Amino acid sequence: MAPRDSGRIAPILEAIRELWQQHPDWTLGQLIEKVVATQGARGGIRAMDDDAMLMGIIELLHSRSKRSAGTP
């Protein structure tokens, strides 16, 4: 297995921070569960790769932005 690029860490943490600030009442566990659910990850969080995690966070961020803007 090739070593993972450590450059992936900062963008994921930044996206988590942004999403969590939009939903401060969520626990970290709730946030992660919602991200996993957006990706339909079979096997849950342990089966989800970092790219899918980031995509799930981005999807939740965009869905929140669309609702705030009044876009269905």
* pLDDT score for 70: 58
Q: Would you say residue 49 has pLDDT above 70? A: yes
Q: What is the mean pLDDT of the chain?
A: 88
Contacts of 66 (CB under 8 A, 6+ apart): 72
Position with higher pLDDT, 15 vs 45? 15
What pLDDT is stored for residue 19 in this prediction?
97
On whether the pTM is more than 0.75, the answer is yes
* pLDDT at residue 46, rounded to an integer: 86
Report whether 64 contacts 34 (CB < 8 A).
Answer: no
Domain count, the chain: 1
Q: What range defines the domain where residue 38 resides?
A: 29-72
